[in-house]
Structure 1
């Protein structure tokens, strides 16, 4: 049974009920970095392996959660079975994270037992260059398609928007330089159960993580844009960024 979560984002009340809509099925061979994060035994959000013992996700998923309640699962198409599972040793939430604007929505999670590398478990690299000039990207996560079937790992190719365009379409939201937006059509988008879903560029590098949308498919989707945080990430994982 899905957990109901009430979120207040920029003064708008949102009820979490669904996840990625549209797109097509995929697997972990193409997304070996993807992990599921559970809180108290229930799926809460997605994350991506930066190393075999560090995961990047959104702060809105793990802030103020006792670490003994958090589990990370790698190498499984299911969010509640199989694969490799680890407890959590440390959670680093960006100190400037703002619940109301969703700015600085980024966290690093260190697992207690490092995962074993394999065909379905392998870290992702951060995109080295800004996204300017990229026209499309791919978001991946567990969710619901247009027929209402859920639980399947799905991918969706999305169109990236300039921040000025995103601001025009979300006039009451704060779209900062640390965010990036996407749009597909009225029937396809990530949704409220997709927090932390990775957004990847055409080379498979991590560009962002899904943060929120006002209404599934009706407005642009907003992501944490990873590039501005590279120095902060390097303070926790010095060997990650050259």
Structure 2
């Protein structure tokens, strides 16, 4: 049995809090920390999943085509102790391997491991500063692996990406009503980072949706009350790369000058087999001067102006604000784009509705 010893301190230093945007460059070293033990028999928690199949064909590489492209965590040549794996999105592979792979000799191959890191507590709004296991360089808006562990994707049963969403409980997902179609069976994926690949170090988990709850006053024409909840067949596992976000509550002092959006580029999924589709972080500027105040406005919509250098459409994505101690709270959900502006459903106005709806299913948030 392969035993890999890793150190959480090297990988997760400052795991609580907001990560800064990475400047994104390359290095083939794979870093595993030193003090937590992972084995090749590490098992995924016992849950029913609807795994989304992807075409992952093993490719030969090397001078004489006698090596194989494998995940970097599966090759001893890139398992260097004490540092993270660094990936540069601007550097093209010279051996035909995926950007999350290495060309590995058969003698250097390791037994694949699933690096699940369980959480011994239940807490919302925790991020992974700098991400898990790797540093990303060479990009512009891309986040690091599991940097924002509350992000989830809504998929249909044919495994096509439909919309962004956010985990607000281990069994509850929040999104916009315009993301859903009546009676359409859905799957929610948590713990993913690059939707175009399964080569990340930590695996994602897919669960079926049991109940769809659309706000009773939602109107397709006006898109008012554009909010919906998805209740899952069971809970997601409590692991480091799957953590719910917090709902805003009284007494919490949010930094409204540091709010941002995280999500996958919805339009990118319309392309045929995109090279990659990584969780992005977008900054927006708000038009409304009363944005921080939930009591002075009755309008359940927040209006923001996208920055011209960030031409991304992130349907259903959460608008997130941190506290001074970098704990994340969801305050909005990407509703529509209109006249050059982005309209977010003000989630803060629907807190009582959310609590009431989930309580009907004996779920407490």
Matched, 1:120 2:241: yes
1:161 matched to 2:279? The reply is no
| Aligned residues between the structures | 201
Contact 1:189–1:221, Cα closer than 8 Å, also in 2: no
Q: 1:149 to 1:162 in 2, by over 3 A?
A: farther
> Residue 183 of structure 1 contacts residue 189 of structure 1 at CA under 8 Å; is this kept in 2?
no
Q: For residues 143-169 of structure 1, what are the alpha-carbon distances to aligned partners after superposition, in whole Å with 9 as ceiling and x for unaligned?
A: 279xx976121101222220799xxxx
Deviation at 1:132, TM superposition (A): 9.8
TM-fit CA distance, 1:98: 0.8
Where structure 2 has 5 or more consecutive residues not aligned to the other structure, the ranges are 1-138, 269-273, 292-296
| Corresponding residue SS for 1:230 | helix
Runs of 5+ unmatched residues, structure 1: 1-21, 166-174
Aligned counterparts of 2:290 and 2:247: Cα–Cα separation in 1: 24
Structure ranking higher on relative contact order (CA contacts 8 Å, 6+ apart):
1
Deviation of residue 31 (structure 1)? 1.2
Pick from 292, 299, 302 the counterpart of residue 180 of structure 1.
302
**2:231 counterpart (110, 115, 124):** 110
Structure 1 residue 24: Cα displacement: 1.5
The 1:111–1:133 alpha-carbon spacing in structure 2 relative to 1, beyond 3 Å, is closer
Counterpart position of 1:140: 262
Structure 1 residues 97 and 23, CA gap change in structure 2 (3 angstroms) = farther
CA RMSD in angstroms comes to 2.9
TM-score with structure 1 length normalisation? 0.73
Q: 1:132 to 1:181 in 2, by over 3 A?
A: farther
Normalising by the residue count of structure 2, what TM-score does the alignment of the two structures yield?
0.50
Of Structure 1 and Structure 2, the greater strand share is in 1
Counterparts of residues 189-208 of structure 1 (less than 5 Å) = 189-191=311-313, 194-203=314-323, 204-208=328-332
Change in Cα spacing, 1:190 to 1:101, as seen in structure 2 (3 Å) is farther
Please identify the structure whose Cα radius of gyration is greater. Answer: 2
